[in-house]
Structure 1
């Protein structure tokens, strides 16, 4: 069996053979022109070599590094435009000519045996012997100078870069040292106090002072309670009583009040309260009491806030009559209260001091870490600064060692370039071979760019990728030379093509099931054989004993029923709705095939979509579904109109027809995707026009289909 790629190539060659032959002729003509060209004039090749070198003694690391870098020169550097232009100016040759004829070979450490090679080979080809030698010599000298300039430039760049960064590194070091010094001035005493234990000692001392003060306060509280029990006064009352009792003015006023009260008491027996003497004595007493109250306020002072006075004159008189002994006790009570308040203030101060010391002690680890960080920063800055100083010193030492990394290893030597004579037969043979390859490639490329399936294997693979059932592969049937407009049909029951359509029919029944009664057959484009498939499927179904009806629903094309010896109604195109309304008149019995009926198309008609969607068509489809065992709808291609989608609701399943060298890949894929996506009942696909060996019943032998089947009439294969 012929491989699919060979089939695709043969099909493409049949279409584009003249383009392939033209490509072959052009290549052969070009090789002929090359073969008859005259021999080029003799040329000379100047060969020289450079080698990497280094100073015999190296005292600086920077110098060694620069010399090592100088041994990694690339081709772009050695043959840069300034080098070639400088040499071209000296020898009076175009720079482009030197660039085209120069050959440079650098050491390749990746090749075996060349890992230690340091030779740079330089070759130049020219028609003048002396000029070739001079150009190579000048190029070698220019490369040596270039290497020296590169090494010097690298060293100067290093020194310049260090000088640029050195002031910044110095300022950063000074800033880091200044930060550390300021931090030590501020935090170093606390850190030292924590390290030598004095800070913890201060906390302990503060705690001892607090305990001592608390003991003293406890003793004072005991003495205060004893004195309060003896006097019957608290500290504030004792202070007021002692102050009032010690004032002589208050004592005098108090005696005046006693005298006035004594007189009032003596005269109350003889005089009434309204008596002028009694009124005078009462007013005198009230004035003295008012003076007593004012004086008491002056003696106590403070507006009565610290030691409040009694609210009435009786209380003032009661608190201002302490004797000397009780007055002494009151003084002691006031003194103890004052001492207690002083100690409480000292205790609060010691507590605050302890909290401050503890907080300061808790911050010591952070302060130590911060100081350690500042020390590390100073050390890092100092190390960088010292390293830059060392590098600068080393670079200045390398100034005396930096030289070119290249030296002459072999002076230029000129030899004659003896090119092999051109072989005309060999050139023509190679050109012919390339012509065959290019011509064949052009044919294959043009065939691939068509976007159509070339073989049945291509269609089969596409269907397998989209998981679409393959219902059958059917070969093309030959057409009668006398009537090329006719559709080839299976008129004879002994036709070798009948078994293919019988396989197609059985696959439809197997996949469609018992409920499949109306089958719609369409294709993506024209000339793919949908009408041939519909007619012959109907014949195969009728020969299998099924009452079969073929309905031509392609109303945009004329009927093909003449191939079945049926004469279409010529007046049906004028009134297609009346044509479909009378079922008994539009259905025709096929004379040559038993159980086969057909409704010829009245087309071409205008507004075919309206006819398909009419009530007459709907009633027709309902009637034929009841009267026939199997109904086949032959409709027009999907790419021409939407008529197949309009007639689809009347069908139970859809079959797509594909044909090699006619069906476009993208159109078939798009049609399958749409039918599957919208669930329009795609049952499967058949391949029409497949290159299949057909068995001849007369000779009982296998015969491969002749190439003439591919030349079937366009009108027959179109449907």
Structure 2
């Protein structure tokens, strides 16, 4: 049983696959047309789409040299870099750097022309240049058109916004109304190098070389939109553990792609150098202010010493006094240096406490007692600068900015702690130095008055001189550092010009269009099949019903199909001979689901074909509501069945002879008010019994079974009831309902005739099936209750 089930399922799968191919073949012309349209469309799209060029460059980014730090050293050891690559990538993507890079290039005006329906953009090779002296903000991105007229004149055209454009549709819908500039139009003839003045713009068109095309266009780009040139910039790390970045960009002009990348690299290195120079400048300003103050004190102490020597006759200091004075000078110089460092630390502490933005914080070349403090301040400055750069493009809720903010807060707390410890240490050192200074000062109190005063003045002069020399040395170091400032980054590969386009992949676009056309065509075919609820061939009838098919009638279009058309009725006649009934006369009813399925024509042809075998046939037209059989035989419908059933005429009077051999006809007669009731009368049964005595076949044309109940009543008198199904007309639901009706009411004498089939594969299949069902009719009756 399981094996039979598997075989049946396998057979169903094969039928479904066959149906798929039949559906594709049925709609092959539409599928081909869809593929053709999509292929042509994609080819046109690929042709007019501008070429896209690519350029790339690599740059190495690294941090400044730092002291030993276990965590940073471990990071460098395992990652191969001492720099946050993600932050540097965000810096490259920032609008600030893009605007700065674009400012190095001449990107304010874009020039275009068309040739063979393709748009080409000029960059450095434009045959004309437009300079603007004034331009209203609303005219940025608005296209200007130039039509050369002669070697000295041209026509300048500004077109109003089309109402069929995207903005025009928004205007019609009321989403975004047109502005005054959208209605502006301009068309005048001008000379080259002539200043063109309007209330909206003031421009000059300068001719560089001969204008060979019929039309050119240009538009102006606002400075705030320069960063859009870098919208296709991509940045990636060459490997996971490298500090080398690869920058790539796409553009419609190959040389501009190269220039954009090189400008970006230059802008990155320039801003890095400027940041370092800013630190050196702040250090120099601080040292200069200290030098100015010490210089005043040095001159004052030098003047006092000279004045004292001139007014007093003094001898050289004794050896002990000289040694004591030198010690005091050293200690007081150290005290001055410590005081300067203490002043710097206090200013640093005050700056960190009062300022939230620490991007301007700098320590220059000053050496602190704690070497880690300088590195921490540099780290804090760099993190603050990175955070400010990211805030140009992102909000404070961005993950990278949140991460930087947390690092800055942690580093700020650590610096405050280190500053506090250093200030405490400096205070202790100052106290120790002051104690030593007081001790040596007391030892000088024993000297004579003149010698003591000379020692004091000499000591003050020496202290100021040493401090001044110390500051001069630091200033020189800082100046040298500033003059030798270089960027930490290093360009490994500059961007080059690659004139071969990388996009679009035109063959791929056409291929995708072709495939898409096939998909759309096939999808449409199956959608039509899914939405089509009419039967088309014998396979579909078999799928929805087990009622046998007695014949397949093709469309009779011309002389070529006439023989096949007639042969189909002969096959029906043959199949009738194998009915299980044994009576001498056979009663055949022919019905359909609705009118228009060819029921009357089929009845007339079956009667004619049977009559040709010397069988007497009478056709009984019971479709009183829409009589039409008499038209097929060209007989008047004056009296007929209704007259007989109501007793107005005898049977002999209502029978009409036809031109067809051995075929008689009983028309419907006048339409009675109660056709269904007349059929239920005993006269109808008596009429059929009487006709059986004189005729071999009685063919009854009944009303459509889907509209009235007359056909169901007449089926009780029939030996075989033919239900006519028309291809691409009869609904599938009717086939299902008919099969359910036959099973529920045990109508074993129902058969189908498929009408209106196209000549071809469908007909050939159906034609063969008609014979098979005629001979295999017992199988149908075997499964039915008797």
* TM-score normalised per structure 1: 0.42
Structure number with the bigger relative contact order (C-alpha 8 A, sep ≥ 6) is 1
* TM-score normalised per structure 2: 0.39
Give the helix-richer structure, 1 or 2: 1
**Higher Cα radius of gyration:** 1
